[in-house]
Structure 1
Amino acid sequence: MTRAGPEFRWLLPSAVADPELPGDRVRPRRTVRDWVVDICAFLAAALIGMLTADALGRTPGHSDTVLLLDQLVGAAACCAVWLRRRRPVGLAAVLAVVSVVAPVASGGFLVALFSLAVHRPFKPAVLVVGTLAVASSLLQPVVRPDPTTSFLTNAVVGTVLILLVTGWGMLVRSRRQLVLALRERAARAEAEAALRAENAQRLAREAIAREMHDVLAHRLTLLSVHAGALEFRPDAPPAQVARAAGVIRDSAHEALQDLRQIIGVLRSPGEGADDRPQPTLATLDALVAESRAAGMKVALDSRIPDAAGVPAATGRNAYRIAQEALTNARKHAPGAEATVTVTGRPGEGLTVEVRNPAPPGPVPEVPGSGQGLIGLTERATLAGGRLDHGRGPDGGFSVVAWLPWPS
């Protein structure tokens, strides 16, 4: 990848810059732009050479033979300009030496020097050839003196002209480096923006999937428990069948409402997607009552005097953790009594602990994704807390979560 030169390193995060530009290397075929530029360079060299030849023709002391040789050498120098892309350093060095004895070649030499400054870094090529060019401008008045002007005038004019051409070429190169640096920064910014958007979409999908799992798993587990009871107890009393059917109906309705809410988030994010009230720690009693209504043994030990005073985000996370832990206990330890303990105070954090002993009888094979506890751990970590889970020595299972509670 092409990078900007050292003078533009502040534009790029990398500390190393490659001074090479796209036009520094010879292209297999000249483009239309290359032909236009090369023709203009040839015409500029020819114009400078003709002006120099005309000035030499009006200066006394030059024979016709010398002028003819100057013109031939100048024409060859103009034709050599077409080689400036392949051999910029060698061409500029040779024309610097030739222009000492043939001033008409100065046009081709200036064009070659300009091309060298554009397509090569300042060190070492431009510096070496530039020094040789300044030396040739000082030697030319000695080898080909002009009786109408002094040596100092010729030397100063030649040196200033060489410095101007070299500086102009370096300016063009610097501008090209700046354009390339800005293009690279723009391309990198677009790539980073696309990456950020993709990452944001991924995080949103993970959040929605985690919320769907936490919300729907509890409802669907209730449906599974009561449907299984109806399947294995077809001779149950009508009152019990009616109660189980009512729980199934209510759970299906709640699951449908939760699913409709999440789909609304996907369809129109940010437009009334959160119409239903979110659960908090104060609604934990309702969760326990719902689990008891499903036939599960649950003991709640809440040591929070004012559950409504817990921050909404902390209470919602605590509710979801208890909900998922009760769902797992109902699936994997049916018949065992689960204990939900909530403790904490502002400044010390909120602790939610759900424990259940080993199931009293054989446990039916219940399919599961295994992502519930992983999702709880991610939820607690994102909230700034932590979550531990595992089996105890008695074969039971425990889930302990700590969530921050600012004072």
Structure 2
Amino acid sequence: MIGRLRQLAAARPRQTDAALALLIFVAAIATALLTEVDREISVAPGVTWPRIPLLALMTLPLAWRRERPLTVLLTVAAAAVAAGLLGYSTGAAAFGLVLALVSAAYYRGRTTTVVGSVVGAATIVFMLLVFPPPGDAVSSENTAFNVAVIVLALITGDVLRGHREALAELAERNRRLERLRDVEKREAVTQDRMRIARELHDIVGHALAAVTLQARAGQRLAPRDPAAARAAFEQIEEVASRALGETREAVGVMRSGAERAELRPQPTLDDLPELVRAVTTPEVRVTLRRPDGAGAALPPAVQASAYRIVQESLANVVKHAGPAAAVVTVAEAAGGGLRVEVRDDGRGDGASRAAGAHGDDRAEASRAGGSGIGGMRARADQLGGSLAAGPAPGGGWLVAARLPGARR
């Protein structure tokens, strides 16, 4: 029941305040019938007419206590002072003054609380000294009680205001956290999409480069060496089949729930020999140097990134270097971590080589097939490593990466 009343009051604050003001006014009229008409008459045959507008001024303005708390307080206080000067008992209307004090402190802040306490106490003392009640001596107990009521009402409003502000601050903090979580979710989705895009670029780019290279070799070998040509075409089938499976795996990551594909493990450094074998042809001869199985104990994320860097580098060799020999070196780095290098001696496109020798970024973009080197750098950066690519001393092209021993 109380919960429903609170919901109703929160939904219709003006109507609630108006009903409360009217209720206090009716209670004030009722109590006035049971009290003395003035301080000299001890019977109460009725309510004298000047008291009715004063009781109304002490109660009905409470309907606007939220919008104009100070105006309401001044109106109610002035009516209370007038009633006191005329010797009228206010009865239940005194609750209107208390509520006006609480509302002023609640809706206007701590300054109003302090000023209201001082002014209210001074006003009561002034009235009791200058206009003492007829026939009564000024009572210090009565004065202290009235001052205490004013101060406690203002303090109550101030405490409630502080509680409201704390709840509002907590709600705002929760909203900020929700917005931050939404931003983090969007950033995570963006990062996942970029990662998947890099995976697809590496998978498809390498596969197409290897297929193109093996197809050329098969065409040249078919007239004079059918067996070698057949082996090249079988290699095309193997590379294409593997690329198709890896593409399905990458796309499966984007699915959810029952639609999620059954994913295979990420490639590791132990898969490099198969990668080198798939790329090697009479035109592009690739040698793998991996002393003592370097990097075998590294985390899967580091091994997968190293594999993708080698894969993209070899795809670039196939696409841009022309007839060449390439050396893939995977070794333990000084101070820990992994050193990955892919060096080729191909000449490739003379224009791009010349531009690359002068540091033209367009040459790098050409060698990377658009975004390959950027993707490799992103992989290394994501792990806390580094990657450089450019013309090698003495000719050819060099991709050198340094990956940490653990993901940072």
Deviations 1:296-350 (A, max 9, x none): 1223333x22347442434333222222111101101110222222332574332
CA drift at 1:282: 3.1
> Quick one: which of 120, 124, 141 aligns to 1:137?
124
Q: Which residue of 2 aligns with 1:186?
A: 174
Q: Greater RCO between the two (CA within 8 Å, min separation 6)? A: 1
Change (3 A) 1:319 1:97: same
CA contact (8 A) 1:46 1:78 kept: no
Note if 1:100 corresponds to 2:81: yes
Could you tell me which residue of structure 2 aligns to residue 204 of structure 1?
192
Shift of 1:259: 1.7
Contact 2:309 2:376 in 1 (8 A): yes
DSSP 3-state at the match of 1:137: helix
CA spacing shift, 1:310–1:183, aligned 2, 3 Å: closer
State the identity as a percent: 28
The structural deviation recorded for 1:198 is 1.9
TM superposition shift of 1:34: 0.9
Q: So what's the TM-score if we normalise by structure 1?
A: 0.77
Q: CA deviation at 1:217?
A: 2.0
Quote the residue 2:264 is aligned against.
Answer: 275
Distance 1:316 1:86, change over 3 A: closer
Taking the aligned partners of 1:321 and 1:100, their CA distance within structure 2 comes to: 87
Pairwise CA RMSD of aligned residues?
A: 3.7
SS at match of 2:370: coil
Structure 2 residue 229 is the aligned partner of structure 1 residue 241? yes
TM-aligned CA deviation for residue 44 of structure 1: 1.8
Moved more, 260-269 or 382-391: 260-269
How many angstroms does 1:55 deviate by? 3.5
Letter in 1 for 2:145: V
> Structure 2: how far apart are the matches of 1:388 and 1:367?
13
Distance 2:337 2:121 in 1: 78
Distance in 1, matches of 2:272 and 2:66, equals: 79
1:186 Cα shift? Answer: 2.7
Gaps of 5+ in 2: 1-9, 85-89, 353-362
**Structure 1 unaligned regions, length at least 5:** 1-29
1:350-389 matches, within 5 Å, as: 350-359=338-347, 369-389=369-389
Matched, 1:59 2:59: no
Question: Letter of the aligned partner of 2:276 in structure 1?
Answer: V
* DSSP 3-state at the match of 1:139: helix
Structure-2 change in CA distance of 1:48 and 1:335 (3 Å): same
- Counting only pairs closer than 5 Å after superposition, residues 70-109 of structure 1 correspond to structure 2 as 70-103=51-84, 104=90, 106=94, 108-109=96-97
* Structure 1 position 195, deviation (Å): 2.0
TM-score w.r.t. length of structure 2: 0.77
Equivalent residues of 2:54, 2:80 under 8 A apart: no
Task: Work out which of the residue numbers 41, 44, 53 in structure 1 matches 2:24.
Answer: 44
Within 1, Cα distance between the matches of 2:349 and 2:65?
92
The letter of the residue matching 1:73 is: L
C-alpha contact (below 8 Å) 1:44/1:107 kept by paired residues: yes
- Residue 193 of structure 1 deviates from its aligned partner by 2.2
Is the contact between residue 357 and residue 396 of structure 1 (CA under 8 Å) also seen in structure 2? yes
CA contact (8 A) 1:281 1:318 kept: yes
